[in-house]
Structure formats: structure tokens, C-alpha cells
Amino acid sequence: METFSSFKIFNPEYIISISDNNLKFIEEIYSIYCLQGAEILKLIKNAVNCNDINVISIQAHKLKSSFNIIGLTNSIENICILEDVNKIKTEQIEIISILKKIEEDYILSKDEFHIFIQKLKEEKNVTN
């Protein structure tokens, strides 16, 4: 198995360990991650615009689960800040900045996850 040390944020070793290197399962995880991540980030962004800290907190908790399932631990600290936004005094400008970083991490992780799947397919000589 090729090592994937070129990834900046995505943790392929974690995905391999939880999936037993099952390509179909990995593709399902990717699909769910992409759909849920985009939906949750949209809800958080709308909640930030409406200054609805309860929705920010609830959706950040869901996002943390999505990021954890693929081993994306680098963003968890920022997500926890959003999750606790109703407990700690966080300025909206800081929330926006944190959300932007999380969105950037999401996009990069999605791209790296996709590259990982393509490399796995090449290794397994799978077409599609």
C-alpha cells in the first residue's frame, strides 16, 4: 500500500483502518461526508448570519462527528469553539473567521479524500 504523506489534512491511514481497505465502504463514507458536511456548513453559515447561537452549537456538534469519522482531527479545536459558542463569549467576527477556516479545511479534506479514492482505485485496478 502506497503511503499518502502528501496529504495536508486528510488522514488516509485512519480511513483504511476503519474500512479494512474496502473501497466500496470508503466511497460510501466519502459520499456521506461530502453531503453532510456541505449541508451542515450551510446551516451554520445561515445561523451565523442570523446570530442564532443555539443552531451554531447544535450543527457544530454534528459537524464534529462528520470530521471525526474520517479522522480529520486538525479542525476539531475550531469546531469545538463553535460548539461551545453558547457557553463562551465569542464575537461574531471571530465566529466568522473560525467558520471560514473550517470551510477551507472541509474543501481541502474533500479534495484530498477524492484523490485518495482515485489512488486506491489505481492500486486495485478499478475503473470508474
User: Can you identify the CATH homologous superfamily of domain 12-123?
Assistant: HPT domain (1.20.120.160)
Question: Which pLDDT band holds residue 127 (cuts at 50, 70, 90)?
Answer: low
- Whether 110 shows a pLDDT value over 60: the answer reads yes
CA 32, 17, 69, 37 dihedral sign is negative
| pLDDT for residue 3 is more than 60 | no
- Name the pTM for this structure: 0.88
Quick one: pLDDT band at residue 10, thresholds 50, 70, 90? confident
Burial of 75 (0-12, 13-18, 19+ CB in 10 A): buried
Q: Which comes out higher in pLDDT, residue 91 or 122?
A: 122
Q: What residue ranges do the domains of the chain occupy?
A: 12-123
Contact status, residue 91 vs residue 114, Cβ threshold 8 Å: no
63-88 pLDDT, tens digit per residue, is 999 998 888 888 899 999 999 987 87
